[in-house]
């Protein structure tokens, strides 16, 4: 992996030297972008080592953080989400927390985001997802894991499929807001991970949710960003 970074950067820098005599006021910007693309592709290959091609595609959209800077970076992202979703947080339609590994968890309550049995995002909640997507787009050194959950009403197969469709619907809303799709992973877990008892209406309401995990891509720990939250 180090060879990929070193040779790629040397190649780009060599190009810079060869074109040094050209009077181009944007030359430094262009060279910087080229170096960033090379490093990003190399980082992507590290993130998804089993599929180098897809990894390079991920790297083009994902930056890499140094270990010491990840906490501050995620704190800033959390604050930006709090500012954008202040109304939804106050109304308990969304819950937000930072986890010990510096990831951010955003919980979307199904009552606010989806109608019963539907995987179409409510029109009244579309603006909230657009605002969230705007923040996630800016903080591109994160992978986005979206996990759907349901209560135990209905068959296990139906609930798993519904939860997956809802996760995909949220992913589509984020990509519509400009988040690169290569950063996003979706999963439906149906009724398998309840937060409360399904014996009461209140408990079932708590279990119907979509969780979004924003995981920082840290240099030397790239694989951790791809690991699905438990």
Shared domain check, 103 and 21: no
At 19 the pLDDT is: 41
CA distance 190 to 163: 5
The residue among 61, 76, 102 that closes a domain is: 61
Shared domain check, 208 and 101: yes
Q: How many domains does the chain have?
A: 2
Shared domain check, 146 and 57: no
Shared domain check, 180 and 212: yes
The residue among 61, 96, 111 that closes a domain is: 61
pLDDT tens digits, residue range 47-56?
555 555 545 5
HEC string of 61-79 equals HCCCECHHHHHHHHHHHHH
Shared domain check, 115 and 6: no
Shared domain check, 204 and 107: yes
pLDDT tens digits, residue range 60-102?
557 788 768 899 999 999 999 999 999 999 999 999 999 999 9
Report the range out of 4-13, 18-27, 54-63, 194-203 with the highest average pLDDT: 194-203
Question: pTM (2 decimals)?
Answer: 0.77
Torsion of CA 136, 139, 140, 145, to 10 degrees: -40
> Is pLDDT at 165 greater than 50 in this prediction?
yes
Range of the domain at 12: 2-61
pLDDT cut 90: percent of the chain above it: 67
């Amino acid at each position: 992996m180090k060879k990929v970074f070193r040779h790629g950067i040397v190649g780009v820098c060599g190009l810079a030297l060869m074109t040094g005599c050209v009077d181009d006021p944007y030359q430094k910007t262009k060279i910087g972008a080229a170096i960033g693309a090379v490093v990003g592709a190399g980082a992507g290959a590290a993130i998804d080592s089993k599929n180098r091609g897809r990894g390079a595609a991920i790297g083009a959209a994902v930056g890499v953080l140094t270990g010491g800077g990840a906490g501050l970076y995620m704190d800033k992202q959390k604050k930006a989400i709090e500012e954008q979703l202040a109304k939804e947080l106050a109304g308990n339609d969304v819950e937000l927390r930072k986890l010990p590994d510096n990831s951010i968890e955003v919980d979307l309550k199904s009552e606010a985001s989806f109608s019963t049995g539907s995987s179409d995002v409510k029109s009244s909640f579309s603006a909230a997802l657009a605002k969230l997507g705007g923040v996630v787009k800016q903080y591109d050194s994160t992978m986005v894991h979206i996990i759907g959950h349901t209560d135990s009403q209905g068959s296990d197969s139906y609930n798993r499929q519904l939860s997956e469709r809802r996760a995909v619907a949220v992913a589509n809303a984020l990509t519509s807001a400009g988040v690169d799709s290569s950063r996003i992973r979706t999963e439906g877990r149906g009724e398998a991970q309840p937060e409360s008892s399904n014996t009461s209406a209140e408990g079932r309401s708590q279990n119907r949710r979509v969780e979004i995990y924003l995981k920082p891509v840290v240099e030397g720990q790239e694989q951790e960003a791809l690991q699905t939250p438990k």
